[in-house]
Every structure is written in C-alpha cells, then in structure tokens.
Structure 1
Amino acid sequence: MYNLHRQFHQAKFLDYYEDHSFLANQMGRCLAAAGIYPEDTRDENGSDRFHHFHPTDQLQMYRDPFARKSAYYPPLKEAENFSPQMIGFHHLSPYEMRVIDYVLYKLKRGSSPTVQQ
C-alpha cells in the first residue's frame, strides 16, 4: 500500500485543482499507473461478489429501470444477484454488519443458540 500511496503523490496527472476530476476517477488513473486494472469479479453464473448497495436494495435492483440501463452488467433477479462466494456489501450499519457476519459464518442450520446465564 505504501508504494501505491507514493505513486499517487508522484503521478504527474494528479492535479485536483486544475482538472476538477472526481476522486474515484483519479484513483482509477493512479491504479492504472501502478499496473492495476479493473476486472470482472462476478462468479461463473454472473452473480455479484461485491455489492455496492444495501442488501435490500440489491435484491430489487433488477426492477429498477435506471439500474438496468446504467449497470455495466445487468442485475440478476433477486437471490440470483448474490454469489455464494460473496465478499462484501456497502451501506451497512455496524449492527447490520455483525448480524450478516453471524448469519453467514456462525449460524448453523438446525442448531439453536446457547443461552448463557
């Protein structure tokens, strides 16, 4: 990460005040200068591993005309949109992160939680 940080500050194309580019665009340029390029992170079924919206929004994404029109890859229907090899969600509260972590990694089907006294 240090090399990327150093590359970011040394790159000649980075001048926020002259070209008024957004941070994401500039970060993309910086990553490209370091030899890092975007690639398709969907699984073999076309389901997303990275989710840029809240899970409840992601479930209904296929119904949204704007999302269908503007998405690079069209959203799949409901649960098909979620890969079994899911990596992350954006826009979750800390509480929601803990609940999802519990459901995905700790909860076992057919088991009941142990009550501690």
Structure 2
Amino acid sequence: METKKSLRVLFCMGINQNFFDAPPEEAKAVWAAFGQMWHGIHDLPNVTVYGSLDDDQSMVGPSAGWPWTTYLLADVPDIETVHAACNLFRSTVVGEGPFKLWKYCKVEARVGRELVIQR
C-alpha cells in the first residue's frame, strides 16, 4: 500500500484595516490572539512548519490580497488539517471578546506538493 504523502501548504496571512484602526490595547490583544493562532497551527497533529516570512518592515498598511503580510510554510497531513488551521482565525477570541481573530486578519491556504527535481 502506498503511503499517503503530506500536503505542502503556504498559509498566506493578511492584516486588514480593522487592526490599524484599533486602539493600542485592542491591537495588543489582537497580537496576543495572533500568537495563539500561530502556535495553534504549529501544534496541530503531524504538522511540520518549515519557516515563515514577514513583510512588516517593507509593507505598510493592510493587505487586501497579494502581497500578503506574513507567510507560514508547512507540511500538513491532510486537507482536514488545513481547514482546522484556517478555522483558528474563526475561533480564536481576541481579548475578552466578542470578536474573533478574523475581524483583524485573514488567511488563504495555498495547497500543493513539494517540488522534487531529480538530478
């Protein structure tokens, strides 16, 4: 039986205008929630994170789409786990609530496979 290969996923994350409009205490709570989501992706079963890239020093303002604000590259065991990672944006509460992380940022998961070039 052939072993099921993991999916190579690039999580593309954009910060939206709500974050930039937030007062300092709210923005701090968003950053804490973003960290919770970020570590939540790392902690999903059988996820291997390879790296990240953050454009925050050369990109100013919200990301409506490409180029995104930050990226996370990982191997993920299946599409259900990709969906679980994306759902962290819907379920992670910011501060004492009532808002969830997706009020302030968004994610697009680009799913593919590792490119292997034979020599």
How high is the TM-score relative to the length of structure 2? 0.22
Q: Which has more radius of gyration?
A: 1
Relative contact order higher in (CA < 8 Å, ≥ 6 apart):
2
Question: Higher strand share goes to which structure?
Answer: 2
Question: Higher helix share goes to which structure?
Answer: 1
